[in-house]
Amino acid sequence: MNHYTKFAGRFAVLLHELQGRQAVVIGHQRPDGDCIGSQVGLCRVLRSQGIDAVCMNPDPVPRRIKFLIGDTPFFQRDELPAGDRLALFTDCADHGRAGEKVKALYPAPQACFDHHVSNVGFAKRNFVDTGSAATAEVLAGVFLDADIAFDATTAQALYTGIMTDTGQFRFPSTSKRVFQLCAELVARGASPARAGQELFERESVGKLKLLEHYLSSLKFECEGRACIGILPAGIFEQVGATVEDTEGLVDYARSIEGVEVGVLIEERPGMMKASLRATHSSYRIDTVASQFNGGGHANAAGLNYPATLAEFYPQLVAALGRRLAEVDAIRQ
Amino acid sequence: MNHYTKFAGRFAVLLHELQGRQAVVIGHQRPDGDCIGSQVGLCRVLRSQGIDAVCMNPDPVPRRIKFLIGDTPFFQRDELPAGDRLALFTDCADHGRAGEKVKALYPAPQACFDHHVSNVGFAKRNFVDTGSAATAEVLAGVFLDADIAFDATTAQALYTGIMTDTGQFRFPSTSKRVFQLCAELVARGASPARAGQELFERESVGKLKLLEHYLSSLKFECEGRACIGILPAGIFEQVGATVEDTEGLVDYARSIEGVEVGVLIEERPGMMKASLRATHSSYRIDTVASQFNGGGHANAAGLNYPATLAEFYPQLVAALGRRLAEVDAIRQ
């Protein structure tokens, strides 16, 4: 079966070009599961083909996805030993996604593997498929098409990349091919249970306490179309949580039936930090965030605004109300 | 490809036996996604084969999985028009899982489709595969093996059954076959995004309030290896939740790092209802539930036990402690 016919010849040429060379597989800043999974998967396959490849990321690998690395040589940017390595970028929509320093270090990328819609192909050999759910999906398909054998660590890394970038198989990008490739990855040793365990079964008590406080604070505004929860100053110390533990909290507000915009406000001394999530990108919620020095994506935005809660809250509700009215007007 | 070779002949015989007869596809009390998905899937395939089949369940279909039904004839127990229908049970580990009244109405089940480890085969024709993640997985495999065409509503029902009973593809039962079958179901019109939207983006305020109360009640027992939360009597009325809103709550307890068994206790007048979830099937947590009139899967079990909380709680903790000690002994 051919998953990516268009990439087969190109990948054979790339492998040929890399023979006898050193390579570095580079991922983006603040790496996620698809980034690390793709880096590990590509690096291991290159090594299995006799190429001296290592991974490098500008940032540390997050705690919960460290398990993917195994015995893969993985370096943080400034720890990578000097050498003349050809650069392969994974999951980077553009050359600068690994940071300006990395861009300057590797001005002529040899290859790029990605699925982001904004990727215009910044490398010599581009493997960009914007119809794919994950970069790891592209890689798994290319490896299987090329009939390259790979080990369980590689399979686990690619599986986890697909699983995280499909939102656990819930995003619209979750295709027949996604499931076909996952079947092949499981056959080669990927463990869905292990991925689930490492990513979602290692919650801290502090995180659940934070969730409890967030839920207890939820209020409906804009006739129930917006739902806002507040984490008061000092809550992190009180429950033993860290700022990373806020990840995913705002989704609870957004997931309530009838709610179109969910908001998480973190109260800080003299500063309001807020995360906004809309149910659809048509809400252009970044235009609300930009009214408070913020920005972001059309359905996921954030802001830091110097104000007290008493000042900020009514302003935010008013801005949300205006935006919802605009959305209504566009729809009519 | 043959997914369930052992069932192929038996299924052909069943279809033959049902020709010209009326059939009723029965699911269990308090139905979940796999129950309703299996009922809908089996019923629709029987109807496509010219058999006058309808679905019946002792309880109402939960709000969030109603979307699976489409134009499938689906009745609650007492609304089913009288008739001489052959009974086919899906997702029922034993004859009584649909309630004693249904058991008495249909004393001689024609067939049973299931994946529960405790199912000893109570019907004339049994399609029980305890190595499967879901009853919907068994059905999808049997239908594909038999080369039976089915529509998108059937595919969506079976997909959703598999998705829910694998815990969104995270339980150890998530096999190569699970993904292969999901690929086929997506090819036949199942939408993973629709399933995700209906199941996880339509939360009620009551459910989140219930979650808040559950989180606030969590206590660690057995040296932190068990985590138990309690929903007190009257909480459903207090927060405007229904019993179906308890679904998934116990997973929060189990997901805490270091916790091996999560428990949800619902306090009812004169009755304790509990759900137990272990991080792995090797815990055989059903053997703990069975000490309190309960049962279930090796890693997910439930019970109803006539006692007060003060009587039940220490007994449960002691039983969990004994089981954890047994697990330790087996591992050594």
pLDDT, tens only, A36-62: 999 999 999 999 999 999 999 999 998
Average pLDDT over residues A241-249: 86
As for the ipTM of the complex, it is: 0.87
Chain segment B265-294, per-residue pLDDT in tens: 999 989 999 999 998 889 999 999 999 999
pLDDT given for residue B244 in this prediction: 79
Contact A61, A74 (CB under 8 A): yes
Nearest to A9, CA basis, from A125, A122, A120: A125
pLDDT given for residue A153 in this prediction: 98
Task: Establish how many alpha carbons lie within 13 A of residue B201's alpha carbon, considering only the half-sphere containing its beta carbon.
Answer: 18
Nearest to B270, CA basis, from B309, B217, B320: B309
Chain segment B149-180, per-residue pLDDT in tens: 999 999 999 999 999 999 999 988 999 999 99
Contact B215, A208 (CB under 8 A): yes
Architecture in CATH for domain A5-200: Alpha-Beta Complex (3.90)
pLDDT given for residue B117 in this prediction: 85
Question: Residue A254 — very low, low, confident or very high, per pLDDT cuts 50/70/90?
Answer: very high
- Sort out which chain A residues have CB atoms less than 8 A from B210's CB and list them: none
Least reliable range by pLDDT among A111-125, A293-307, A318-332: A293-307
**Which residue among A168, A182, A279 places its CB closest to the CB of B179?**
A182
Would you state the structure tokens that stand for residue A237, as one six-digit string?
């110390």
pLDDT given for residue A242 in this prediction: 85
- Comparing alpha-carbon positions, the chain B residue that sits nearest to A205 is B256
Interface test with A, best of B162, B205, B216, B251 (most A CBs within 10 A): B205
Question: Residue A1 — very low, low, confident or very high, per pLDDT cuts 50/70/90?
Answer: low
How far, in whole angstroms, is CA B239 from its chain's centroid? 26
Contact A15, A147 (CB under 8 A): no
Question: Under an 8 A CB cutoff, do B192 and A200 touch?
Answer: no
Q: B5-200 with B205-331: one CATH topology?
A: no
Average pLDDT over residues B191-215: 94
pLDDT given for residue A244 in this prediction: 76
Would you state the structure tokens that stand for residue A70, as one six-digit string?
């195994």
Would you state the structure tokens that stand for residue A221, as one six-digit string?
């505004």
Mean pLDDT for all residues in chain B: 95
Contact B7, B142 (CB under 8 A): yes
The answer on pLDDT for A237 being more than 80 is: yes
**Which residue among B174, B186, B197 places its CB closest to the CB of A193?**
B174
**Which residue among B172, B182, B252 places its CB closest to the CB of A179?**
B182
Question: Under an 8 A CB cutoff, do A167 and B209 touch?
Answer: no
Chain segment A164-210, per-residue pLDDT in tens: 999 899 988 999 999 999 999 999 999 999 999 999 888 899 999 99
How far, in whole angstroms, is CA B219 from its chain's centroid? 27
Question: Residue A295 — very low, low, confident or very high, per pLDDT cuts 50/70/90?
Answer: confident
Does A218 or B63 have the greater pLDDT score? A218
The answer on pLDDT for B9 being more than 70 is: yes
The answer on pLDDT for B254 being more than 90 is: yes
- Comparing alpha-carbon positions, the chain A residue that sits nearest to B177 is A183
Chain segment B111-133, per-residue pLDDT in tens: 999 999 889 999 999 999 999 99
Question: Under an 8 A CB cutoff, do B170 and A200 touch?
Answer: yes
Interface test with A, best of B166, B184, B212, B219 (most A CBs within 10 A): B212
pLDDT given for residue B81 in this prediction: 87
How far, in whole angstroms, is CA B245 from its chain's centroid? 15
Please give the helix or strand (H or E) that residue A264 lies within, else none: strand A261-268
pTM of the shown model: 0.88
What is the number of other CB atoms lying within 10 angstroms of the CB of residue A236? 17
> CA-CA distances (angstroms) from residue A129 to A84, A132, A133?
29, 6, 9
Chain segment A3-42, per-residue pLDDT in tens: 999 999 999 999 999 999 999 999 999 899 999 999 999 9
- Sort out which chain A residues have CB atoms less than 8 A from B183's CB and list them: 176-177, 179-180, 183
Interface test with A, best of B179, B211, B218 (most A CBs within 10 A): B179
Task: State the fold for domain B205-331.
Answer: Diaminopimelate Epimerase; Chain A, domain 1 (3.10.310)
The answer on pLDDT for A299 being more than 90 is: no
Question: Under an 8 A CB cutoff, do B255 and A201 touch?
Answer: yes
pLDDT given for residue B266 in this prediction: 97
Question: Residue B1 — very low, low, confident or very high, per pLDDT cuts 50/70/90?
Answer: low
Contact A8, A65 (CB under 8 A): no
